[in-house]
Amino acid sequence: MLERDITMEEIEHVVESGEVIEEYPDDQPFQSRLIMGAPHNRPLHVVAADESDSDITHVITAYRPDPHHWENGIKRRTK
């Protein structure tokens, strides 16, 4: 997070109020999802997974999306 200039507050904001743009139902040990948000007008993607039997959310990774690999407002991968 420090190397990518991403704060815990930004990650929490995206997980709590971002838009799910991809889902990964086959991920193990928990299904995960890619969530997009833009705290402080800085686009951010967070991959997170929820434990099915608790309120715990695991953050797998967080990164600033590269506009060369994403289109449509950073919601869809380029082909």
Mean pLDDT of 15-43: 94
Looking at residue 60, its pLDDT comes to: 95
pLDDT tens track for 33-77: 999 999 999 999 999 999 988 999 999 999 999 877 766 656 666
Q: Which of 46, 45, 42, 43 minimizes the C-alpha distance to 60?
A: 46
Looking at residue 2, its pLDDT comes to: 85
What pTM, to 2 d.p., does this model score? Answer: 0.85
Looking at residue 35, its pLDDT comes to: 97
Looking at residue 8, its pLDDT comes to: 95
Encoding tokens for residue 32?
């995960």
Backbone angles phi, psi at 3, to 5 degrees: -65, -30
Encoding tokens for residue 75?
């919601």
